[in-house]
Amino acid sequence: MQRRGWKSLFVVLLAMVVGLGAGSPTVMAVTSTIAGGWSLEITTASTPTTSIDADAYVKQSKPARNYGLEDTVNVSGTDDPRKGYLKFTISNVSGAITHAVLRLYVDDNGTQNGPQLYSTSNTWSETTINWNNAPPSGTLIDDKGALPKNTWVEYNITALVASGNGTYSVLLLGQGGDSVDFSSRQGSHPPQVVLTVSTPTPTSTPTNTPTNTPTNTPTNTPVPPTNTPTNTPTNTPVPPTNTPTSTPTNTPINAAFHCPPEDGAGFLLDTGTIIITGDVIHCSYPIFFGEDPFHFYCRYSIITGALLQDQDGGFCPDSAVPN
């Protein structure tokens, strides 16, 4: 199907596909109408992002103490080891997960040898886990080298979540006699799970084609004339009446605001990926050229300029720029 044959296509990224407890967002489906009897349903955003259910760390020298409500997850491979635990739930995903990452923010304490990431059991809770009852490591998922401070790091968890919806737990193990602090979900840069989900392929919806049904045509049979006079009816023309019909018109929304040229961290606006849906404008501020426009973005009202959504690590400007 050619793009020029589409009557309209509205892709609205209003949803996140990972639902995590009370108050967490869920998927909202949007249907687009396409000319010629086609329909396309977008059931998931391409790169939805959300936070996690629980995180904590445990410390060998204080085996009965719980560190579930700290603002950091401390991981250490020193002679007093500390292990980090994170748990998240994926729900409402209808397509295949083609890529998934766990994003962690390195606080002021970086490392020359980043922790290894393992799968682990879900049999722990944020406020009761300690060194004594912490579940052991499972399969190695990913490994990192040097992690500078005040930066994001991404662990590839595609293989872990390939089966789709469910609850998952991971374990961070320190290496090489070094330690690192990650921001926890109580910290200033909470962890995130970012999924890339394939969307359904357009399917053809058959339309009914009217068919011609033959009708019987009467024939004139001649009748011999008779002397009986007959009244010949006359056709009285009836003037046609014009019934006005309402033609819907689209009323455009006048945009009073546009995207800020850069975010609070100094990253420039990607002008090629600006999306306006209704009265909402989507502004992307990528770290590097060509990055997915749904990794770091801000959304504003084009009518009031108010900030509606901050997915830029807290660096979204407070309002859009007046036109």
Segment 5-39, tens digit of pLDDT: 332 333 333 333 333 333 333 333 333 333 333 33
Partner residues linked to 166 by β-bridges = 90
Same domain for 189 and 275 = no
Same domain for 280 and 188 = no
Provide the pLDDT confidence category of residue 272 given band limits of 50, 70 and 90.
Answer: confident
Give the end of a domain, one of 197, 218, 248: 197
Per-residue model confidence as pLDDT tens digits over 50-68: 669 999 999 999 999 999 9
The pLDDT of residue 211: 58
Provide the pLDDT confidence category of residue 254 given band limits of 50, 70 and 90.
Answer: confident
Same domain for 276 and 172 = no
Compute the half-sphere exposure of residue 273: CA atoms within 13 Å on the CB side of its CA.
18
Q: Which candidate, 18, 19, 23, 13, places its Cα nearest to that of 43?
A: 13
Give the end of a domain, one of 175, 197, 219: 197
- Let me know the angle formed at the C-alpha of 6 by 4 and 11, rounded to the nearest 5 degrees: 115
- Is residue 217 included in any domain, yes or no? no
- Is residue 38 included in any domain, yes or no? no
The number of angstroms, rounded, from the C-alpha of 8 to the middle of its chain's C-alpha atoms is 21
Q: Which candidate, 159, 70, 178, places its Cα nearest to that of 119?
A: 159
- Is residue 75 included in any domain, yes or no? yes
Give the end of a domain, one of 197, 232, 247: 197
Identify the burial level of 252 via C-beta atoms within 10 angstroms of its C-beta, where 0-12 means exposed, 13-18 middle and 19 or more buried.
exposed
Per-residue model confidence as pLDDT tens digits over 82-112: 999 999 999 888 889 999 999 999 999 999 9
Same domain for 178 and 293 = no
Query: How far is the CA of 215 from the CAs of 90, 178, 209, 212, 219, in angstroms?
Result: 61, 91, 19, 9, 13
More confident residue, 203 or 145: 145
Give the span between the Cα atoms of 263 and 299, in whole angstroms.
12
Phi, psi at 182, each rounded to 5°? -105, 145
Phi, psi at 273, each rounded to 5°? -120, 20
Partner residues linked to 179 by β-bridges = 76
The pLDDT of residue 65: 97
- Is residue 7 included in any domain, yes or no? no
- Domain total of the chain: 2
- Is residue 190 included in any domain, yes or no? yes
Same domain for 189 and 306 = no
Q: Which candidate, 37, 32, 33, places its Cα nearest to that of 12?
A: 32
- Is residue 263 included in any domain, yes or no? yes
The pLDDT of residue 174: 93
Compute the half-sphere exposure of residue 176: CA atoms within 13 Å on the CB side of its CA.
12
For the chain, the average pLDDT equals 78
- Is residue 74 included in any domain, yes or no? yes
- Is residue 211 included in any domain, yes or no? no
Whether 72 shows a pLDDT value over 80: the answer reads yes
Compute the half-sphere exposure of residue 145: CA atoms within 13 Å on the CB side of its CA.
0
Give the span between the Cα atoms of 270 and 226, in whole angstroms.
93
77: CB partners within 8 A, 6+ apart? 113, 115, 173, 174, 175, 176, 177, 178, 179
CATH number, domain containing residue 70: 2.60.120
What residues make up the domain containing 316? Answer: 257-322
Same domain for 153 and 74 = yes
Whether 226 shows a pLDDT value over 50: the answer reads yes
The pLDDT of residue 58: 98
Per-residue model confidence as pLDDT tens digits over 154-212: 999 999 999 999 999 999 999 878 899 999 999 999 999 999 988 765 555 555 555 55
| DSSP result, 57-102 | EEETTSTT--BTT-SEEEEE-SSS-EEEEEEEEE-S--S-EEEEEE
39: CB partners within 8 A, 6+ apart? 31, 32, 33, 202, 203, 205
Give the span between the Cα atoms of 160 and 154, in whole angstroms.
14
